[in-house]
Structure 1
């Protein structure tokens, strides 16, 4: 178990105020690992109420590709047959890098469509997340079974089981809904197993593996200018450049004091400097994206612009100090960052709740999505580079994980599945017009029974909720199109108009 100081600094004790039942807050480096994928979040305090939603497990093999390995494990899933009538379809909310929840098979647009189509609803837990970890611990040797290919076979075998043994209808049509990383899994399940999956709705699905994901910072910068101001953008730009210049001038102690780091910034350590700048960058980006950008950004920029500190760097440092008022110091050094990712025990909250080690492994071996500051048109300096991320991968999982291995993993993912052009039919890709991750999503797609919809003014997975009077006309039309496309996959004679 990591030491207390590291837990305080990096995880913010997971629960900042348990007595007040507040949402857990975690450190910026860890927040990044979660936010790299769009993770659907049920409302705070949600308690399942539907009597027909029940928990189950499905047994499958740990390694589907080695006939000599007969080891098995159980992954969890939820079932809701409240609306099902014989002959109805199967609707599956596909699991991703989070513990399974039954919220989206009891609420939301997918649930409402199931009621109209008399569908049986299911939600599964992805291998290695939540309580569905197939190995005694998360050692590097054990993580070798955490691959997209293994998870796709899990899903295919489970769908076959649902048809034959649960719904008892071998001809039942199957529609998948996937968000974020699970959107990629849903897409590739349709690609690999078209005989099992009849259609997929992919909400904010992230499909294009990318090593140097520099575009993300550019998109956040655009949001700051659009919903904040050029003055706010300039303050952030100057703060980062000032800190970089101070370190270059041998004044790293000044930066340490301003940001109240737990350990002095080592002027000889490029990794410590990059870790600090990465964390500061992620803190700012999280503030911009905490709510819809048109709400969060003005609040953040007003706080910066109304500050009375003498310099922009002091202003930003003071804002971060106020944000993390409950911490005596911030662990922005490289070693502390790595330490929390070295936890091997399945039951530790870092792994069972947040899936930090597992997700980091997937990023290092298959997806990349390393949010650097390489691009020119962004306000976060230039000191967050691939050097930082490559060293994270090696420090956590071993020297075998060289830059060449990481590059090959990203290349192979896109080669195997097609990146932003999976060439499948019966797929609807939806995304928000303000999503900073939209560069790795499918926003233009033309295949039979398929389309890509970009919903102006919204962030990730805004289309998951039930139709509401608060929806904009564009969001209402998107939800209507989702309904038409699902209909078309269930009843092939009906095709939605483009």
Structure 2
């Protein structure tokens, strides 16, 4: 995916779906981020289409569909490698064909650059709708087989069979890049697996633990203030007399109604998402993707939370929510779980969750888990436990909690989780990024190195370099380039 669609907390999926209904921005959303495209910087990048198999694991099934991909031949030399950027859980962003660290490497190494959109995301529609029966064809294994078939056919059609192929990806596609090299070593020579969660896990409370530490890295009091605010809100939710004021404080689209624990959990998770999203992408250089809101950082959030002139921590928490809505041109916040349920169970390609929300949650229910619950005491939020999150698998797709747990076991058995036996894969991760908790942060072997970048966020090394980039980030990009130079000689 590069990081045009980096793996997000489920609360961001909630917000992504709600933004598609209630925001006043134009254009489609980049994955599940709460980001509204300002413009399309890559309108000149042409869509290409590849005839792909629907089911790679059933020889009797001859159905096919059209998969979208992009091409950049600007740097290609006859003896150069082929770089393949892997699409992820949202529309493939053609901006990556014009910007990004991988193109700097491509220019130096004479690489042909390709990007393949992930099945069921963006314009790559393998089936007539997103019914649960059709989503059975959505999996990382089918996606890897798509990559393998694409690589084989394109190599033959373009005379690239003897060229060395390198896979790139960030977040979930970073995992795919590593697994592509692991499962198809005869097709891909090396891989750069940025911010890649390689260990599937049903309950992922470590995510919010990293959020605490990342907020504390800015100001030790900041996560404590967030916790006080969250706890105060939880107490107010116990009294229906407070609902009218809460509705005004957080600029809700309709008067708050808490009829079940799921209603309160949904509201609390949505508000926590303001902090989770900013921490994950803190100071990321994403402007080239044509999105707005990149000026909201951990420093900004902690500044608001520390501003006593705004009132007590609860009032500051509400101020953060209003700031985020103003920044992303959102008229109001829908806190209704019943609305969210309706959006997520709409199976049309024109539905509000078809940009990626319905598809990615399905993958979490059937492959990965990754549920960022509040079950750990070492994090700043309250009110959205694992049980609430897993129950959505049954609501949306009729997948039980037992089936979720078994699916995660199978994923780790298939890919090996942290125990990767391969070569020529590099694993860059940022210390601020909560996803590093499920990634490779120490060298497995000299040929499976990790690059742990202090002070940086999700996929930071993939974005174009800036003069204000910290030295650690500059060194990480140089290290990756050095590894590519070395591996392409092997």
TM-score by length of 2: 0.86
Higher alpha-carbon Rg: 1
Give the structure 2 partner of residue 283 of structure 1: 274
Question: Does 2:162 align with 1:164?
Answer: no
Question: Does 2:234 align with 1:236?
Answer: no
Distance 1:128 1:339 in 2: 20
Contact 1:423-1:447 within 8 A present in 2 as well: no
Distance 1:121 1:199 in 2: 14
Contact 1:175-1:200 within 8 A present in 2 as well: yes
Cα 1:310–1:490, aligned 2, differ >3 Å: closer, same or farther?
Answer: closer
For residue 160 of structure 2, give the secondary structure of its aligned residue in structure 1. Answer: coil
Give the structure 1 partner of residue 42 of structure 2: 48
Unaligned runs of 5+ in 2: 1-13, 285-294
Give the structure 2 partner of residue 361 of structure 1: 362
Contact 1:259-1:317 within 8 A present in 2 as well: no
Question: Does 2:62 align with 1:59?
Answer: no
Cα 1:259–1:290, aligned 2, differ >3 Å: closer, same or farther?
Answer: farther
State the superposition RMSD in angstroms: 2.9
Matched positions, count: 461
For residue 297 of structure 2, give the secondary structure of its aligned residue in structure 1. Answer: helix
Give the structure 1 partner of residue 290 of structure 2: none
- Pairwise CA distance, 1:122: 0.4
Give the structure 1 partner of residue 77 of structure 2: 85
- Pairwise CA distance, 1:178: 0.8
Cα 1:236–1:454, aligned 2, differ >3 Å: closer, same or farther?
Answer: same
Question: Does 2:167 align with 1:183?
Answer: no
Cα 1:306–1:150, aligned 2, differ >3 Å: closer, same or farther?
Answer: same
Q: 1:257 aligns with which of 239, 245, 252?
A: 245
Q: 1:221 aligns with which of 202, 209, 212?
A: 212
- Pairwise CA distance, 1:388: 1.1
Distance 1:375 1:256 in 2: 31
Give the structure 1 partner of residue 414 of structure 2: 416
Matches within 5 A, 1:438-453: 438-453=436-451
Distance 2:107 2:132 in 1: 44
Distance 1:69 1:46 in 2: 38
Give the structure 2 partner of residue 496 of structure 1: none
Give the structure 2 partner of residue 432 of structure 1: 430
Question: Does 2:396 align with 1:396?
Answer: yes
Contact 1:9-1:331 within 8 A present in 2 as well: no
For residue 225 of structure 1, give the secondary structure of its aligned residue in structure 2. Answer: helix
TM-score by length of 1: 0.85
Q: For residues 106-144 of structure 1, give each alpha carbon's deviation from its aligned partner in whole angstroms, at most 9, with x where no partner exists.
A: 322211222222221100111001111100000011111
Give the structure 2 partner of residue 3 of structure 1: none
Contact 2:230-2:380 within 8 A present in 1 as well: yes
For residue 76 of structure 1, give the secondary structure of its aligned residue in structure 2. Answer: strand
- Pairwise CA distance, 1:342: 1.5
- Pairwise CA distance, 1:358: 0.6
Cα 1:476–1:298, aligned 2, differ >3 Å: closer, same or farther?
Answer: closer
- Pairwise CA distance, 1:161: 1.1
Question: Does 2:190 align with 1:199?
Answer: yes
Give the structure 1 partner of residue 289 of structure 2: none
Give the structure 2 partner of residue 334 of structure 1: 337
Cα 1:321–1:487, aligned 2, differ >3 Å: closer, same or farther?
Answer: closer
Cα 1:233–1:89, aligned 2, differ >3 Å: closer, same or farther?
Answer: closer
Matches within 5 A, 1:123-142: 123-142=115-134
Matches within 5 A, 1:449-464: 449-464=447-462
Of stretches 463-472 and 80-89 in structure 1, the one that deviates more from structure 2 is 463-472
Unaligned runs of 5+ in 1: 1-5, 25-30, 493-498
Give the structure 2 partner of residue 147 of structure 1: 139
Cα 1:119–1:329, aligned 2, differ >3 Å: closer, same or farther?
Answer: closer
- Pairwise CA distance, 1:199: 0.2
Contact 1:308-1:315 within 8 A present in 2 as well: no
